[in-house]
Amino acid sequence: MVTGIGVIAPGGVGREAFWERITGGRPAVRRISRFDPSEYRSRIATECDFDRPSQA
């Protein structure tokens, strides 16, 4: 999501973290860890690693 103020994205909150992730070749795709995905066909996703919007 581009908020107009910064970036909130899987693997990074803020412009610097986001830029480091995409230019460093480190994908944010991984096994789902926020809930049990066993009932779904896919078990991978990109999760945002923050708990509160105030960190954005």
Cβ atoms within 10 Å of 11's Cβ, excluding its own: 19
Q: What confidence tens digit (pLDDT) does each residue in 25-49 have?
A: 888 888 999 899 999 999 999 887 7
d(CA 6, CA 31): 26
As given in the structure block, the two tokens for residue 35 are 């809930």
- Is pLDDT of 53 > 60? no
Mean pLDDT for 6-15 is: 79
